[in-house]
């Protein structure tokens, strides 16, 4: 029922020789109509293209980070701060004012690292080519998340140029982070553990939702923007079963390790899932139902009513993306044995589970739940990694400024707060009680979203231009609330849209 809507929100993974870029001069396309007049189209496209060419698979961010640092120093009047200068831990910031000013800080955060490129034969152009065909820029990181970083950087650069001598009571900082694709330990976690006071963040804008059509049955052309205000907590778990009943495959025992693991995983994956409606999902469905209208809108607005439970469960069973928002999910991502010939029964087997927990779920109680469902005392359960538990961000004045900027650029659109079913660096900032909102501030096609972590990842110049304009408009909206008290007290404001 909501597949198009929810596909949008599942945004989150051998190098080819660089392919010669097309000329950037005098490109004529409809996308130029959406481009800020004060921002150079050719220079911005070239900047992103060259940034993509700096391969920065997690653990090797420095070359790409240096490229951005040099651009900030050589081509902008922004204030550069490099926090860490290691190959696998390169983190930097570009700010309106030096961070030493101590001004309340709005953080626009993105990440330098990208996932590896696989299935190279499926790529139309090299994954690290930055190839530009006159409409799209191709390559790993185009949408996730180098394109977002360039949108943010160019918007703040433009804002600085438009107000060169204005002294605002707030700062705006573009924060380029390492290691997001690996859990943020070398990036967001490192920054908050070592530079929290220096950043002085009152709000964070990062990746998350986007604008999308074909969401509403009643009005398919209406653009719906999803701004993430919460994320599911990631929990990676390892299962290990040992059994001395190994030997030859021609004469298997009754309870060898693989058989035990398969049987227990079958219990786990065939469990009856529970539905969880929290503040974030109720808020999302309420606004979505209002936008839909009619009988369908009534059901969407009140999807958490117990009387509607049978209908809701049937819809959830049909829609995996809807299920990902309302349930704690468990995905078996890996099953392994030690190396051996086909006729040898291994004496142990392991499996990896990628679990995603709705806000408010206790990790300890969920691990006990897994243990009960596995129903095998011989299986050892250990936690590989978990993201921080974080409360949803309230829809306060910062959210209002985001919504206002989107409405200015897309007058007929609707903006909806939602629960992001994946995990990003936003959750790290929320765990420190800093409001964080996730958004690619442009209308993105489903095919482009599906290219993230896949082959032929790309971003259009129209998306790039619209994103710059929305970020710039967001900063202009802050000028209305530029009284110093607003920025000092924003964390204490109650939500008015709960």
pLDDT digits (tens, 9 = 90+) for 338-391: 998 888 888 889 999 999 998 889 999 999 999 999 999 999 999 999 988 888
Determine which of 171-185, 314-328, 329-343 has the lowest per-residue pLDDT on average.
Answer: 314-328
pTM listed for this prediction: 0.83
Cβ neighbors of 347 (< 8 A, separation 6 or more) are: 242, 243, 244, 245, 246, 256, 257
**Residue pLDDT, tens place only, 43-86:** 999 999 999 999 999 999 999 999 999 999 999 999 999 999 99
Rounded to 5 degrees, φ, ψ at 384 are -80, -45
CB atoms within 10 A of CB 107: 24
Which range of 21-35, 178-192, 287-301 scores highest in mean pLDDT? It is 178-192
CATH architecture of 3-230+390-492: 3-Layer(aba) Sandwich (3.40)
pLDDT at 30 over 90: no
Mode of pairing for the β-strands spanning 105-111 and 89-95:
unpaired
Beta strands in 39-88 (DSSP E): 79-86
**Residue pLDDT, tens place only, 382-426:** 999 998 888 889 888 899 999 999 999 999 999 999 888 888 999
Which range of 2-16, 347-361, 479-493 scores highest in mean pLDDT? It is 347-361
Sign of the alpha-carbon dihedral angle for 39, 42, 47, 49: positive
* Longest CA–CA separation in the chain, Å: 82
pLDDT at 26 over 80: no
The helix/strand/coil state of 172 is strand
């Amino acid at each position: 029922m909501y597949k198009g809507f929810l596909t949008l929100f599942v945004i989150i993974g051998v190098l080819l020789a660089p392919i010669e870029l097309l000329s950037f001069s005098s490109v004529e396309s409809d996308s130029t109509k959406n481009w800020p007049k004060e921002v150079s189209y050719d220079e911005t496209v070239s900047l992103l293209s060259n940034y993509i060419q700096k391969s920065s698979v997690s653990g090797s961010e420095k070359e790409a980070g240096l490229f951005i640092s040099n651009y900030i120093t050589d081509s902008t009047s922004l204030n550069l701060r490099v926090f860490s200068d290691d190959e696998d831990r390169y983190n930097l910031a570009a700010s309106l004012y030096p961070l030493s000013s101590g001004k309340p800080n709005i953080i626009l955060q993105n990440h330098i690292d990208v996932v590896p490129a696989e299935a190279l034969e499926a790529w139309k152009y090299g994954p690290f080519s930055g190839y530009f065909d006159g409409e799209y820029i191709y390559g790993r990181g185009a949408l996730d998340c180098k394109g977002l970083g360039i949108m943010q950087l160019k918007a703040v650069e433009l804002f600085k140029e438009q107000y060169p001598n204005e002294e605002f009571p707030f700062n705006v900082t573009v924060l380029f982070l390492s290691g997001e694709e690996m859990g943020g330990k070398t990036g967001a976690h490192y920054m908050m553990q070592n530079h929290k006071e220096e950043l002085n963040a009152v709000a964070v804008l990062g990746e998350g939702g986007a604008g999308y059509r074909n969401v509403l049955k009643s009005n398919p052309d209406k653009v719906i923007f999803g701004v993430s205000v919460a994320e599911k907590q990631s929990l990676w778990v390892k299962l290990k079963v040992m059994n001395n009943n190994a030997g030859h495959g021609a004469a298997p025992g009754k309870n060898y390790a693989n058989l035990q693991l398969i049987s227990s995983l079958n219990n786990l994956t065939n469990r009856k899932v529970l539905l969880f409606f929290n503040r974030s999902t109720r808020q999302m469905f309420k606004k979505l139902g209002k936008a839909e209208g009619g009988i369908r809108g009534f059901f969407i607005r009140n999807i958490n009513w117990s009387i509607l439970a049978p209908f809701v469960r049937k819809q959830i069973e049909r829609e995996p993306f809807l299920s990902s928002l309302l349930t704690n999910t468990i995905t078996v991502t890996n099953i392994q044995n030690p190396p051996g010939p086909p006729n040898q029964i291994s004496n142990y087997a392991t499996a990896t589970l990628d679990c995603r927990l709705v806000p408010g779920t206790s990790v300890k109680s969920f691990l006990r739940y897994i243990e009960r469902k596995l129903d095998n005392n011989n299986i050892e359960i250990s936690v590989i990694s978990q993201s921080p538990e974080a409360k949803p961000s309230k829809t306060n004045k910062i959210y209002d400024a985001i919504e206002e900027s989107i409405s200015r650029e897309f007058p007929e659109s609707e903006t909806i707060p939602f629960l992001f079913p994946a995990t990003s660096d936003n959750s790290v900032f929320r765990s420190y009680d800093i409001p964080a909102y996730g958004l690619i501030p442009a209308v993105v096609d489903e095919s482009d979203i599906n290219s993230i972590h896949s082959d032929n990842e790309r971003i259009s110049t129209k998306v790039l231009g619209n994103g710059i304009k929305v970020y710039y408009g967001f900063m202009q909206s802050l000028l209305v609330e530029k009284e110093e008290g607003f920025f000092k007290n924003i964390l204490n404001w109650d939500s008015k849209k709960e």
